[in-house]
Amino acid sequence: MTRRVVRFLCEGATLLGTLDEGSGATGVLIVSGGNEIRAGAHRGMAMLAARLAASGTPVFRYDRRGIGDSEGANGGYAGAAPDLAAAAATFRAEAGVTRIIGFGNCDAATLLALEGPALGIDPLVLANPWTGDEPDAFPPAAAIRATYAARLRDPAQWRRLLRGGVDLGKLAGGLAKLLRSRTAPPPLAERLVRAIEQSRATVIAADGDATALAFADAARRLDARIELVRIATDSHGFARAGDLDAVEKVIRTHLSGENGSAVPGRS
């Protein structure tokens, strides 16, 4: 396996990417979420790339403008469509791939869902897709609901409440948010869910992750037909033992051309 750094341009800025070379005509483009560099949390994306390339799959990762080794201003995921387009074109030119599978986590998954199909990035593997910023300091309503449900089943939490060990202000705020959440999902959530429905995509959801819970809740409320693969972890970046194995398995399902059937908003 050969790993090399590739420089390419995006609207006048020089971006850096890493190509793990392979002999296959199908490659995997890994897009980092948030302000994460292309190596990923705990070097997870670099390790995933090495695993895939070891069996002949070319993999390309890159830092978007203003992140890591790349020049330019950081415009967040909302301004990253040109970076994605430039990375896909560079990947095709450098590796000779004729088919690109896109993989991203959090807002990178959202970017791929909204922009990837028009760029010929298909199919998509989307981990914990981001449905938008919360309007307050509380977690998404779906995450609050899951937390409260678990605590109601735990006798120790009832004893803690009776002893005054619970912040009643936070409890009241969380309950108020649950009541407000009965309205329709926010605009980005609906746009994201509908884009995923119209693409060939598999969504990976970390069971204990607030972002994944918010997405699954939006998909359920919108009665969406989306293939959802749940991974038993609370790590948003899939950093726990065995997490990366599970992610790799989903990606390889698309590499082999196999795919499961979609079900409405659940696995």
More confident residue, 49 or 179: 49
Residue 11: domain span: 3-131+186-264
Same-domain status, 48 and 159: no
Determine, yes or no, domain membership for 212: yes
User: Does residue 217 sit in the same domain as residue 260?
Assistant: yes
Does residue 136 fall inside a structural domain?
no
Let me know whether 121 and 216 are in one domain. Answer: yes
pLDDT number for residue 177:
46
Nearest to residue 223, comparing CAs of 195, 194, 181? 194
The answer to whether residue 123 sits within a structural domain is yes
Structure confidence by residue, pLDDT tens digits, 209-221: 989 988 998 898 8
Q: Which of 79-93, 160-174, 210-224 has the lowest mean pLDDT?
A: 160-174
Cα–Cα nearest to 265, from 149, 142, 182: 142
Residues 65, 131: Cα–Cα separation, whole Å: 22
pLDDT, residue 143, reads 53
Number of domains in the chain: 2
- Same domain, yes or no, for 176 and 194? no
* Pairwise pLDDT comparison (101 vs 136), residue with the higher score: 101
